[in-house]
């Protein structure tokens, strides 16, 4: 891969988007590489958490590559948006939690990428926004759907309609991100959080993620039924048997086996 750096350590995968001269703007080549990485992650049973970040000091992802969009017609625009949207659905549908680690600009398609992740942590100098309406378009990779589900309809419309940029503290206040840390602590804090997730029972974490993600789109009675079904499945695992036995015996439990 030319535009992505990939590392795996201690059951944690780290994806670094690497177009620093273009502020890591998403182009079709990078999107295709992201898709291939997540196909590999899906097959790798050792991976328990994923981190996505951008290379360099200035930007997570400053948006989609405008040079690839400016001359599209209606049909080409539809295919362009669908291509990225489908890839972001794969990220959102990952069995393991995915965390966006935002080190600078998260604009347009970059913010859409962050919204497709389960968690978002950012440095204090991070900047967020959807500039699309100022360019004559709207977010094309699912941002108009995920944003209101995360921060509420009115706040989402304000960001979408005005192309306003907000800082990390404002993003935290409206629930757009989950944590703000000093820039020099960002990588360590992200890894600390990823390790904490990876330490838990993997089947249970996957079940919790599925219950939330799928339950959000169901009517209440069906959502509760789904949660009950996922809850019951956990009792098939050796992790549940061993962890609860250790708890009852007041013994320290140190390692889940994903079984």
Q: What DSSP character marks residue 121?
A: E
Write b or e for each residue in 193-204: b if 16 or more Cβ atoms lie within 10 A of its Cβ, otherwise e. Answer: bbeebbbbbbbb
Catalytic one of 55, 90, 92, 132: 132
Q: Which two tokens stand for residue 86?
A: 């489908």
Active site residue 112: yes
CA distance 157 to 77: 22
Active site residue 7: no
Q: Which two tokens stand for residue 153?
A: 């309809």
Catalytic one of 29, 55, 112, 164: 112
Write b or e for each residue in 115-142: b if 16 or more Cβ atoms lie within 10 A of its Cβ, otherwise e. Answer: bbbbbbbbbebbbbbbbbeeeebebbbb
Q: Which residues are catalytic?
A: 112, 132
């Amino acid at each position: 891969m030319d535009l992505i750096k990939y590392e795996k350590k201690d059951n944690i995968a780290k994806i670094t988007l690497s177009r620093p001269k273009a502020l890591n703007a998403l182009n079709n080549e990078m999107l295709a590489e992201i898709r291939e990485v997540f196909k590999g992650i899906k097959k790798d049973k050792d991976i328990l958490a994923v981190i996505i970040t951008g290379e360099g000091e200035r930007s997570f992802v400053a948006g989609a590559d405008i040079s690839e969009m400016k001359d599209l017609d209606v049909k080409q625009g539809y295919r362009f948006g669908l291509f990225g949207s489908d890839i972001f659905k794969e990220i959102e549908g990952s069995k393991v939690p995915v965390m966006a680690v935002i080190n600078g600009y998260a604009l347009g398609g970059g913010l859409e990428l962050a919204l497709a992740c389960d968690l978002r942590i950012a440095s204090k100098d991070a900047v967020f926004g959807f500039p699309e309406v100022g360019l004559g378009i709207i977010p094309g990779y699912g941002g108009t759907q995920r944003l209101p589900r995360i921060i509420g309809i009115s706040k989402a419309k304000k960001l979408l309609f005005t192309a306003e940029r907000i800082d990390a503290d404002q993003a935290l206040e409206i629930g757009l991100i989950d944590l703000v840390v000093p820039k020099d602590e960002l990588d360590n804090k992200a890894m600390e959080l990823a390790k904490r997730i990876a330490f838990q029972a993997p089947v249970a974490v996957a079940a919790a993620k599925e219950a939330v993600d799928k339950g959000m789109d169901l009517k209440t009675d069906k959502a509760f039924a789904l949660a009950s079904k996922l809850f019951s499945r956990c009792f098939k695992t050796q992790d549940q048997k061993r962890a609860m036995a250790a708890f009852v015996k007041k013994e320290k439990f140190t390692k889940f086996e994903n079984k």
